[in-house]
Amino acid sequence: MELITGKKGGKLKNMKRLNTCCFIGSCTEDRLSLFEEKRPFLNNTGLAIEESILYLIECFSVTNFLSGMDVGFEQYAAEVVLEKKKDYPQVTLEGVLPYENHSVSWTEAQRDKYYSIMEKSDREILMQYHYTSDCMTRRNLFMINQSKHVM
Protein backbone atom coordinates (compact mmCIF):
# COMPACT_ATOMS: atom_id res chain seq x y z
CA MET A 1 0.00 0.00 0.00
CA GLU A 2 1.32 3.40 -0.96
CA LEU A 3 0.96 6.30 1.48
CA ILE A 4 0.32 9.69 -0.13
CA THR A 5 1.59 12.63 1.91
CA GLY A 6 2.27 16.29 1.31
CA LYS A 7 1.90 18.23 -1.91
CA LYS A 8 4.47 16.23 -3.89
CA GLY A 9 3.06 12.78 -3.18
CA GLY A 10 0.79 10.97 -5.57
CA LYS A 11 0.97 13.31 -8.54
CA LEU A 12 0.04 11.31 -11.63
CA LYS A 13 1.63 12.23 -14.92
CA ASN A 14 -0.60 14.47 -17.04
CA MET A 15 -0.97 11.80 -19.72
CA LYS A 16 -2.27 9.32 -17.17
CA ARG A 17 -4.74 11.92 -15.87
CA LEU A 18 -6.31 12.16 -19.34
CA ASN A 19 -7.12 8.45 -19.18
CA THR A 20 -8.43 8.43 -15.59
CA CYS A 21 -11.92 8.36 -14.11
CA CYS A 22 -12.77 8.37 -10.42
CA PHE A 23 -15.86 7.10 -8.60
CA ILE A 24 -17.16 9.28 -5.78
CA GLY A 25 -20.51 8.66 -4.18
CA SER A 26 -22.11 8.19 -0.81
CA CYS A 27 -25.04 6.11 -2.04
CA THR A 28 -25.20 2.92 0.03
CA GLU A 29 -26.40 -0.46 -1.21
CA ASP A 30 -29.72 0.06 0.60
CA ARG A 31 -30.25 3.44 -1.04
CA LEU A 32 -29.44 2.06 -4.49
CA SER A 33 -32.13 -0.61 -4.03
CA LEU A 34 -34.65 1.90 -2.66
CA PHE A 35 -34.00 4.23 -5.60
CA GLU A 36 -34.78 1.44 -8.06
CA GLU A 37 -37.96 0.44 -6.19
CA LYS A 38 -39.36 3.99 -6.17
CA ARG A 39 -38.53 4.62 -9.83
CA PRO A 40 -39.20 1.39 -11.72
CA PHE A 41 -38.64 3.16 -15.04
CA LEU A 42 -34.98 3.44 -13.96
CA ASN A 43 -35.13 -0.18 -12.92
CA ASN A 44 -31.49 -1.04 -13.31
CA THR A 45 -29.11 1.50 -11.85
CA GLY A 46 -26.37 -1.11 -12.03
CA LEU A 47 -26.81 -1.47 -15.78
CA ALA A 48 -26.48 2.30 -16.21
CA ILE A 49 -23.22 2.25 -14.22
CA GLU A 50 -21.89 -0.66 -16.30
CA GLU A 51 -22.79 1.05 -19.58
CA SER A 52 -21.19 4.31 -18.45
CA ILE A 53 -17.92 2.57 -17.57
CA LEU A 54 -17.89 0.70 -20.88
CA TYR A 55 -18.56 3.98 -22.72
CA LEU A 56 -15.61 5.64 -20.94
CA ILE A 57 -13.33 2.74 -21.91
CA GLU A 58 -14.42 2.48 -25.54
CA CYS A 59 -15.14 6.11 -26.46
CA PHE A 60 -12.79 8.12 -24.24
CA SER A 61 -9.92 5.59 -23.93
CA VAL A 62 -10.15 5.63 -20.13
CA THR A 63 -7.83 2.95 -18.78
CA ASN A 64 -7.34 3.97 -15.15
CA PHE A 65 -10.12 4.02 -12.57
CA LEU A 66 -9.90 5.33 -9.00
CA SER A 67 -12.43 4.28 -6.37
CA GLY A 68 -12.84 5.65 -2.86
CA MET A 69 -14.05 2.12 -1.93
CA ASP A 70 -17.00 3.19 0.22
CA VAL A 71 -19.91 0.76 0.57
CA GLY A 72 -22.45 1.07 -2.23
CA PHE A 73 -21.79 2.91 -5.47
CA GLU A 74 -17.98 3.15 -5.16
CA GLN A 75 -17.56 -0.58 -4.52
CA TYR A 76 -20.12 -1.53 -7.15
CA ALA A 77 -18.31 0.58 -9.76
CA ALA A 78 -14.99 -0.99 -8.71
CA GLU A 79 -16.48 -4.47 -9.21
CA VAL A 80 -17.64 -3.48 -12.69
CA VAL A 81 -14.11 -2.31 -13.55
CA LEU A 82 -12.68 -5.62 -12.34
CA GLU A 83 -15.17 -7.43 -14.58
CA LYS A 84 -14.26 -5.23 -17.58
CA LYS A 85 -10.55 -6.00 -17.08
CA LYS A 86 -11.27 -9.47 -18.49
CA ASP A 87 -12.07 -7.95 -21.90
CA TYR A 88 -9.85 -4.86 -21.59
CA PRO A 89 -6.55 -5.96 -19.99
CA GLN A 90 -5.13 -2.42 -20.22
CA VAL A 91 -7.69 -1.23 -17.63
CA THR A 92 -6.47 -0.68 -14.06
CA LEU A 93 -8.25 -0.13 -10.75
CA GLU A 94 -6.80 1.81 -7.84
CA GLY A 95 -8.42 1.87 -4.41
CA VAL A 96 -7.95 5.21 -2.66
CA LEU A 97 -8.45 4.82 1.08
CA PRO A 98 -9.05 7.89 3.28
CA TYR A 99 -7.43 6.30 6.36
CA GLU A 100 -6.15 2.90 7.43
CA ASN A 101 -9.08 1.60 9.51
CA HIS A 102 -11.80 2.96 7.24
CA SER A 103 -13.73 -0.33 7.12
CA VAL A 104 -13.58 -1.18 10.83
CA SER A 105 -17.21 -0.15 11.58
CA TRP A 106 -18.70 -2.01 8.60
CA THR A 107 -20.48 -5.35 8.82
CA GLU A 108 -18.47 -8.50 8.24
CA ALA A 109 -20.08 -8.98 4.81
CA GLN A 110 -19.22 -5.39 3.82
CA ARG A 111 -15.61 -5.85 4.93
CA ASP A 112 -15.32 -9.18 3.09
CA LYS A 113 -16.52 -7.54 -0.13
CA TYR A 114 -14.14 -4.59 0.41
CA TYR A 115 -11.11 -6.85 0.98
CA SER A 116 -12.03 -9.00 -2.01
CA ILE A 117 -12.09 -5.95 -4.30
CA MET A 118 -8.87 -4.51 -2.85
CA GLU A 119 -7.09 -7.84 -3.29
CA LYS A 120 -7.87 -7.72 -7.03
CA SER A 121 -7.07 -4.03 -7.49
CA ASP A 122 -3.86 -2.94 -9.20
CA ARG A 123 -2.84 -0.40 -6.57
CA GLU A 124 -3.83 0.73 -3.08
CA ILE A 125 -3.37 4.36 -2.11
CA LEU A 126 -3.63 5.31 1.56
CA MET A 127 -4.21 9.01 2.16
CA GLN A 128 -3.31 8.97 5.87
CA TYR A 129 -3.04 6.54 8.78
CA HIS A 130 -5.64 7.96 11.17
CA TYR A 131 -9.13 9.42 10.86
CA THR A 132 -9.52 13.20 10.80
CA SER A 133 -12.65 15.22 10.13
CA ASP A 134 -11.42 16.17 6.66
CA CYS A 135 -9.98 12.83 5.52
CA MET A 136 -12.91 11.93 3.26
CA THR A 137 -12.82 15.35 1.60
CA ARG A 138 -9.05 15.06 1.14
CA ARG A 139 -9.45 11.64 -0.49
CA ASN A 140 -12.18 12.92 -2.82
CA LEU A 141 -10.20 16.00 -3.83
CA PHE A 142 -7.13 13.86 -4.49
CA MET A 143 -9.14 11.59 -6.80
CA ILE A 144 -10.76 14.53 -8.61
CA ASN A 145 -7.36 16.18 -9.15
CA GLN A 146 -6.00 12.95 -10.64
CA SER A 147 -8.95 12.44 -13.02
CA LYS A 148 -10.36 13.87 -16.20
CA HIS A 149 -13.71 12.10 -15.65
CA VAL A 150 -15.75 11.82 -12.44
CA MET A 151 -18.69 9.50 -11.81
Mean local confidence (pLDDT), 82-96: 97
The whole-number average pLDDT for the span 56-70 is 97
**pLDDT tens digits, residue range 101-135?**
999 999 999 999 999 999 999 999 999 999 999 99
* Domains, in order of start, for the chain: 2-150 (3.40.50.450)
Residue 96 pLDDT greater than 70, yes or no: yes
pLDDT for position 1: 62
CA-nearest of 62, 72, 61 to 94 is 62
Query: How much of the chain exceeds pLDDT 90, in percent?
Result: 68
Q: Which pTM value belongs to this model?
A: 0.83
Q: What is the pLDDT of residues 43-59, one digit of tens each?
A: 577 788 999 999 999 99
Q: Please answer whether residues 88 and 57 qualify as being in contact, where contact means their C-beta atoms are separated by less than 8 angstroms.
A: yes
CA distances from residue 48 to 19, 29, 52, 96 in whole angstroms, order as listed: 21, 15, 6, 23
pLDDT > 70: percent of the chain: 77
Stronger pLDDT, 9 or 76, i.e. the higher one: 76
Q: How far is CA 54 from CA 74, 85, 123, in A?
A: 16, 11, 21
Query: Cβ–Cβ contacts within 10 Å for residue 31, how many?
Result: 14
Angle value at C-alpha 6, between 66 and 27, nearest 5 degrees: 35
